[in-house]
A = this chain, B = another copy of it.
């Protein structure tokens, strides 16, 4: 039952999401911005960061972690640096303000760094570095995530969060080259879903609480730890994100923070036109894409961001599929806020 799917246009999902967010207390512009951001994640194929997040967000609103009417503001701005205070409102609106400020400062100084503090889930970092690349920047973004669940290389205890890293460059014209990944070897959500369906995990992803490899997904909720991607190299990236983003934002590393939630976020921009023209990026990009597409069997090699670009193009035309499970979850949230969703009935 919960695996049957139904298809919706992105506009329908934006409308639905905006109504639910508004009922949670988000002012109109914030509800519109967060709804658009969540549905964009569905559009580019990252449903884990799509409108299913309404479930989590409603919980945070009810616990007082997420203040739905709070407005982000610029805490300070000095030469090529600025800090945005999210005031514990919506992470997406704070991230848009941070991205806008980053692009402005980068255009002015050639490079800039913006730190985002006191913010809830910022959503998909790839969205913000993509905006930077569209503005002609090389964009870098990383954030630490509350609640340690990942073990460092060589260990088995929970130290880091899933600490994502994103990096984008202007592309050949059709799409930007956007890389966006969790430094955990696999999303915690996927392990939990496997546990619910009684599925056995591939080996090498999860350690039990005593540090033994396990294929039993339930070991994660019994004190186990995810590994990082990429062995000691990926572990090092995760550790430096936890320290850099945690300390610079004041969110603190996951194992030290007493909040257990929030995303300390760092955005860095470089105006590529200081060093090379956008036209050169486009022509070299076109040549490089061809080399990549010929480096394997047909369609086996993609540029960073190409999967998302293709998926967006497809789903713009054919709509977004939601499972009945996701629909039921969102209807439950809507029900708590007395929002009617005739589109889902």
Contact = CB atoms under 8 A, between A and B. Distances in A.
A54 B298 CA distance: 43
Interface in A226-241: 229-234, 236-237, 239-240
Interface string A252-294: 1101100000000010101110111000110011011001101
Contact of A179 (B236, B275, B288, B304): B236
Given A255-B291, A268-B111, A229 B237 contact: no
A17 interface: no
- Place the interface of chain A in its size category: 35 or more
A234 B303 CA distance: 13
A304 B236 contact: yes
B229 A231 contact: yes
A154 B110 contact: no
A301 B211 CA distance: 13
A240 B169 contact: yes
Interface string A81-122: 101000000000000000000000000111111010000000
Contacts of A304: 236, 239-240
Nearest to A228: B230
A151 B280 contact: no
A230 B197 CA distance: 28
Q: Is the interface of A mostly helix, strand, loop or mixed?
A: mixed
Contact of A177 (B157, B232, B239, B272): B239
B244 A169 contact: yes
Contacts of A181: 232-233, 236
A113 B115 contact: no
B292 A253 contact: no
A283 B161 CA distance: 20
B239 A296 contact: no
A108 B83 contact: no
A236 B310 CA distance: 17
A252 B283 CA distance: 12
B231 A155 contact: no
A243 interface: yes
Contacts of A287: 256
B243 A169 contact: yes
A302 B243 contact: no
A140 B276 CA distance: 20
A231 B237 CA distance: 15
A165 to B, nearest CB: 9
A80 interface: yes
A57 interface: no
A248 interface: yes
B177 A240 contact: yes
Interface in A283-321: 284-285, 287-288, 291-292, 294-297, 300-304
Interface of A: 78-81, 83, 108-113, 115, 138, 140, 151-157, 159, 167, 169, 177, 179, 181, 211, 229-234, 236-237, 239-240, 242-244, 246-250, 252-253, 255-256, 266, 268, 270-272, 274-276, 280-281, 284-285, 287-288, 291-292, 294-297, 300-304
11 contacts: A79-B109, A79-B110, A80-B80, A80-B109, A138-B248, A140-B140, A155-B296, A181-B232, A234-B234, A247-B284, A256-B284
- The 7 tightest CB contacts between A and B, nearest first, are A230-B230, A155-B296, A81-B110, A155-B295, A179-B236, A155-B301, A111-B113
